[in-house]
Chains A and B, each alone.
Chain A
Amino acid sequence: MLELSQVHKVYKVGAFGGGRLRAVRDVNLTVEPGEVVSLIGESGSGKSTLGKMVLGLSTPSSGRITFEGTDITTIRGHSARKEYYRRVQGVFQDPFSCFNPIFKADRVFEMVHTSYFPRTSSADWKDKVLDALATVRLDPGNVLGKYPHQLSGGQLQRLLIARALLLDIKLLVADEIISMLDASTRIDVLNLLADLKERGLGILFVTHDLSLGNYVSDKSVILRKGAIAEMGPTARVFDNPLHPYSRHLLSCVPQLHRTWAEVDAELKANPPEDVTLPTAPDEESAPLIEVEENHFVGIDQG
Chain B
Amino acid sequence: MTSVAGASGTADSADSPKPVGERRFSETLHFARRNPKLLIGLGIVLAFLLLGIIGPFFVGHDPNEYVGPQTQPPSGEYWLGTTTFGQDIWAQFVYGLRSTFLIGVFGGGVAFVIGTAVGFVAGYKGGIIDEILNMITNVVLVLPAMVVLIVAIAYLEARGLFVQGLFIGLTSWPWAARAVRSQALSLATRDYVDLARLSGRRTWKIITTEIAPNMSSYLVMSFILLFGGAILIAAGLDFIGLGPAGGVSLGLMLQSASQWSALQLSMWWWFIPPGLGITAIVGSLYILNVGLDEVFNPKLREL
Contacts and interface: CB of A to CB of B under 8 A. Distances in A.
A36 B190 CA distance: 27
Given A115-B199, A149-B20, A99 B10 contact: no
Given A92-B194, A94-B3, A102-B213, 14 more contacts: A55-B194, A55-B198, A90-B198, A96-B3, A97-B6, A97-B192, A98-B192, A100-B210, A103-B213, A115-B199, A116-B199, A147-B20, A149-B9, A150-B20
Contacts of A150: 9-10, 13, 20
30 contacts: A55-B194, A55-B198, A57-B197, A92-B194, A94-B3, A94-B191, A96-B2, A96-B7, A97-B3, A98-B191, A98-B192, A99-B192, A101-B2, A101-B5, A101-B9, A102-B21, A102-B24, A108-B199, A112-B199, A115-B199, A147-B9, A147-B20, A148-B9, A149-B5, A149-B8, A149-B10, A149-B20, A150-B10, A152-B10, A160-B195
Interface of A: 55, 57, 78, 81-82, 85-86, 89-90, 92, 94, 96-103, 108, 111-112, 115-116, 145, 147-152, 160
Nearest to A108: B195
Contacts of B201: 111, 115
Interface on chain B toward A: helix, strand, loop, or mixed SS? helix
B262 interface: no
B246 interface: no
Nearest to B16: A150
B200 A81 contact: yes
A89 B192 contact: no
Contacts of B3: 94, 96-97
B196 interface: yes
B19 interface: yes
A97 B20 CA distance: 17
Interface of B: 2-3, 5-10, 13, 19-21, 24, 190-192, 194-202, 210, 213-214
Nearest to B11: A149
A54 to B, nearest CB: 12
Contact of B6 (A57, A82, A101): A101
Contacts of A151: 10
B200 A92 contact: no
A89 B196 CA distance: 11
A32 to B, nearest CB: 22
A102 B211 CA distance: 11
Contacts of A160: 195
Contacts of A98: 191-192, 195
Nearest to B24: A102
A156 B189 CA distance: 19
A100 B214 contact: yes
A98 B210 CA distance: 11
Q: Identify the 5 closest CB pairs spanning chains A and B, nearest first.
A: A149-B9, A96-B6, A82-B200, A115-B200, A96-B3
A157 B139 CA distance: 46
A116 B20 CA distance: 28
A24 B236 CA distance: 58
A148 B202 contact: no
Chain A CB within 10 A, most for which of B3, B5, B190, B195: B195
Nearest to B5: A101
A85 B10 contact: no
B200 A89 contact: no
Contacts of A108: 195, 199
B214 A97 contact: no
Chain A CB within 10 A, most for which of B20, B191, B197, B201: B191
